[in-house]
Amino acid sequence: MPVSLRSKIKIGFAVAFTILIVVAALSYGSTLTLLRAVDHEERAHEVIVTLNGVLANLNAGEGSHRGYLITGDSSHLVRHRASIDGVRSGLNNLTVLTQNLPEAGHVRTFNALVENRLQEFVTRQRLRDTEGLEAAARAIRADTDDPHIYQQANTIQGEVRRRLAETQTRASRFGRVTLSVSMLGGLTAALFLCIAAIIILREVTARSEAFKALSDREARLNDVLENTGEMIHTANTDGKFTYVNRAWRDTLGYHYADLESIYTRDIIDPAELPRVQEVIRRIVRGRTQENLETVFVTKQGQKLIVTGNVSARASDDRQTVDIRGMFRDVTEERAVERLKDEFISVVSHELRTPLTSIRGALGLIGSGKLGTLEPKGQRMVEIAVADSERLVRLINDILDIERMESGRVDLDKSSGSIAEILARAADSVRPLAEKAKVTLSVEAAPGKLWCDVDRVLQTLTNLIGNAIKFSPPGSTVWLTAERDEHAVYFRVRDQGRGIPPDKLESIFERFQQVDASDARAKGGAGLGLAIARSIVIQHGGNIWAESDGKTGSTFVFTLPAYQTEGGQVTGPESGPLVLIAEDDASTAEVLQSMLASNGFRVALASDGRKAMEMARQIRPDAILLDIMLPEQDGWETLRQLKLNDDTRDIPVIIETGTEQPAFRIAEAPVREWLKKPLREDDVIAALRRATEPTDERPPVIVTRFPRG
């Protein structure tokens, strides 16, 4: 297991400190031992000196006592008593000095022996005083020095000296050990501290280098931010700016100093403010990002059209939310686009009107109602009719693609059956197929789609039309629609001449054809596939062609489909989570794709009981509840949801096919009744209202719901 740098330093310091503590403890112990040895020595000397003093006084006492016994001169007695006092005080000192020492027993014996001797002095003195000199002289002659006293004194001295030597030896040994350990420990601790210091030094150097690299990077990033042409700002949820770059300041005419007194709302056109605030509320709630085109107002009051995106993310301390905006001034672009639009609409109108009348006039001439033409003339008129029709188609296509690619075509989405869409597309080109002697084979998967049906039909018709155009008579064009978890795959396959691999991509661009003669030979101007691609991309799908360049080609496009089974959450990565409780698979699918394409995450439950269970598990931000549910109907599910602590606060939107239902439930007062049959916008608006944070009770909204 690798050891982190911090742990290494900690270990180094811990070892060094442990060693220092051991050395300190040893030194303390050794000093104490030395002090004790010194104390011991002093006491030993005192004992020996006192002992010798006692013996000397005893001798002196003995001498002066004998003097008295022989002479009867009482002055000897005075000296004798002084010596005896010395003996007694010496004995007392000895007892005190040897208290608690092993010699105390010997001292007690010594005291007793000396006491006996002193008693003998008293006896002899009494003999001298009562029986005279002769009796005392006899007693002196019979008297010898008591050898026991000196033996005992020697024993005590020997004992004291032996212990003194022992203590000194122990103290000096302990002292040597302490010295060695202290030296070794000190060196080791110093080594560890040095290692720790080196590691710290290295780390500090590495960090300061990393810090410098980071500062350099920050300076570079800052340089990029400051010099980019995009206006970039960050702000907090109160709308206070926390950063603005140079493009922002230059375009809007503000200085750094102004930022203290302005808020994000001050740079937004008042007419746009509610819409922008709604977007900000949404992104803050979902921590997401959204594209936004709006109007900014400069410090001088000039209005600028800007386009870009706003995003929200938790700040580094996770306490607040940073809102970031990145915008580009498109005022001029929009003005040019407007001019172009006006130009196109004028041109198309100006072109289409005379063209329609030319087409009408030629048609009239061609029909023979204005007189019969020569066969050659008739042929010319027919060519003119066909070409004027082609011109009308071309103008329509140009207008169409202009509108599609500038994103000004809103898809009118509704629910459509996959099989029905395919059948309608096939029907519309059947006359063409019959004329070209081409067989159409149609095979569609079950299920529904949430799409702009007319636009999908336009795409299909174009692909099938092309397939027929390029198919030899007697061949087949196959139309299929399959689906997987995420998408429906539409395929149009023919047995025509195929498309060379290097053209597979370019044919989707405007006015691009495999062969320049195709336009003349097969009709069309090379706009059909470009329009088809715009439509598919606007739906969030994809389109491509497959061919080996010899044996026919296959055009494939996908449209997003959404899973109808299981409890998992689908849709975008973030955004409010909606639980759809709906037993009808098609309706569920339609709702799911509708919500997902509006930024909601979705989970499905196919009956009331499952809905209740999942609501407790995944805690959605809102529940879309069907009333006619199996297992447990919608009203009962609503009651259960409102009785359960975990789910009580989840807003519920009820879908019902009937008008205002006759019965309500006490646990869940209904906040809104949306009476009219709803369309996508209303459902989304109701969901947005329901998922908005509010202090009120979570709403229950009842809608009459469109059935797909």
Interacting residue ranges for ligand ADP, rule: CB under 6 A: 462, 466-467, 470, 494, 496-497, 499, 507, 513-515, 518-519, 524-529, 553
Q: Using a CB cutoff of 8 Å and minimum separation of 24, what contacts does 641-646 make?
A: 641/612, 641/615, 641/668, 642/667, 642/668, 643/667, 644/612, 644/616, 646/615, 646/616, 646/619
The distance of closest approach from Cβ of residue 542 to ligand ADP in the complex, given in angstroms and rounded to an integer, is: 17
Least distance CB 527 / ligand ADP (angstroms): 6
Residue with tokens 């029909």: 367
Q: Are strands 241-244 and 231-235 parallel, antiparallel or unpaired?
A: antiparallel
In the bound state with ligand ADP, the residue whose beta carbon lies nearer, of 332 and 515, is: 515
Return the number of the residue (386 or 643) whose C-beta is nearest ligand ADP: 386
Torsion of CA 235, 236, 239, 241, to 10 degrees: -40
Residue of minimal Cβ distance to ligand ADP = 524
State which residue, 524 or 599, has the beta carbon closest to ligand ADP: 524
CB of 545: closest distance to ligand ADP in angstroms? Answer: 7
Q: Which is nearer to ligand ADP, 440 or 638 (CB)?
A: 440
Between 185 and 528, name the residue whose CB sits nearer to ligand ADP. Answer: 528
- CB 674, CB 685: distance < 8 Å: no
Answer whether 358's CB lies under 8 Å from 395's CB.
no
State in angstroms the smallest separation of the CB of 539 from ligand ADP: 18
Residues 81, 138 contacting (CB under 8 angstroms) = no
Six-digit token string for 356:
């329609």
Helices (H) and strands (E) in the chain, counts: 17, 18
Residue pointed to by tokens 């339609």: 590
Q: At its nearest, how many Å lie between ligand ADP and the CB of residue 420?
A: 24
State the minimum distance, in angstroms, from the CB of residue 529 to ligand ADP: 3
Q: Show the 3-state SS of 438-490.
A: CEEEEEECCCEEEECHHHHHHHHHHHHHHHHHCCCCCCEEEEEEEECCCEEEE
* CA–CA dist 569, 618 (Å, integer): 9
Closest CA to 51 of 151, 119, 122: 151
Least distance to ligand ADP from the beta carbon of 396, Å?
12
Q: Are 669 and 696 in contact (CB under 8 A)?
A: no
Please choose, from the candidates 621, 608, 615, 625, the residue with its C-alpha nearest in 3D space to the C-alpha of residue 670: 625
Which residue is listed with tokens 């811990």?
14
The distance of closest approach from Cβ of residue 296 to ligand ADP in the complex, given in angstroms and rounded to an integer, is: 40
Nearer to ligand ADP, 68 or 470 (CB): 470
What distance in Å separates the CA atoms of residue 310 and residue 282, rounded to the nearest whole number?
11
User: 104-131 vs 5-71: helix axis angle to the nearest 10?
Assistant: 10
Measured from the CB atom, the residue of 466 and 647 that comes closer to ligand ADP is: 466
Which of residues 125 and 475 has its CB atom nearest to ligand ADP in the complex? 475
Would you say 281 or 390 has its CB closer to ligand ADP?
390
Tokens 């009744």 -> residue:
673
Q: How far apart are CA 606 and CA 637, in angstroms?
A: 12
Minimum distance of ligand ADP from residue 477's CB (angstroms): 9
CB closer to ligand ADP, 397 vs 626:
397
| Closer by beta carbon to ligand ADP, 485 or else 509 | 509
Phi and psi torsions of 578, nearest 5°: -115, 130
Distance of CA 204 to the CA centre of its chain: 28
- Specify the residue, 176 or 550, whose C-beta has the smaller distance to ligand ADP: 550
Q: Which residues make beta-bridge pairs with 542? A: 558
Task: Report the residue number, 298 or 512, with the smaller CB distance to ligand ADP.
Answer: 512
Nearer to ligand ADP, 168 or 513 (CB): 513
Q: For residue 36, how many C-alpha atoms fall within 13 Å in the half-sphere facing its CB?
A: 15
CB 366 to ligand ADP: min, Å:
24
User: Which residue, chain included where needed, has tokens 């001797």?
Assistant: 117
> Nearest CA to 628 among 584, 662, 574, 596?
584
Cα torsion angle, 413, 418, 421, 426, sign: positive
Q: Least Å distance between CB 703 and ligand ADP?
A: 42
| Parallel/antiparallel/unpaired status of strands 321-329 and 231-235 | antiparallel
Cβ proximity of 272 and 265 under 8 Å? no
Kindly tell me which of 523 and 669 has the beta carbon lying closer to ligand ADP. 523
Closest CA to 138 of 70, 76, 73, 199: 70
The distance of closest approach from Cβ of residue 440 to ligand ADP in the complex, given in angstroms and rounded to an integer, is: 14
Residues 6 or more apart whose Cβ sits within 8 Å of residue 236? 242, 320, 321, 322, 323
What's the min distance (Å) between Cβ of 553 and ligand ADP?
5
Rounded to the nearest whole angstrom, what is the least distance from the CB of residue 398 to ligand ADP in the complex? 12
Could you give the angle at the alpha carbon of 287 between the alpha carbons of 282 and 288, nearest 5°?
75
Nearer to ligand ADP, 329 or 494 (CB): 494
Half-sphere exposure of 348 (CA within 13 A, CB side): 17
**Rounded distance, CA 142 to CA 242, Å?**
122
Q: Minimum distance from CB of 509 to ligand ADP (Å)?
A: 9
Q: Which is nearer to ligand ADP, 464 or 623 (CB)?
A: 464
- Indicate the residue among 88 and 403 with the shorter CB distance to ligand ADP: 403
- Minimum distance, C-beta of residue 515 to ligand ADP, in the bound complex (Å): 6
Minimum distance from residue 504 beta carbon to ligand ADP (Å):
10
Q: Could you tell me if 61 and 84 are in contact, meaning their C-beta atoms sit under 8 angstroms apart? A: yes
Q: In whole angstroms, how close is the CB of 413 to ligand ADP at the nearest point?
A: 24
Q: Which amino acid belongs to residue 180? A: S
Number of Cβ within 10 Å of residue 480's Cβ equals 17
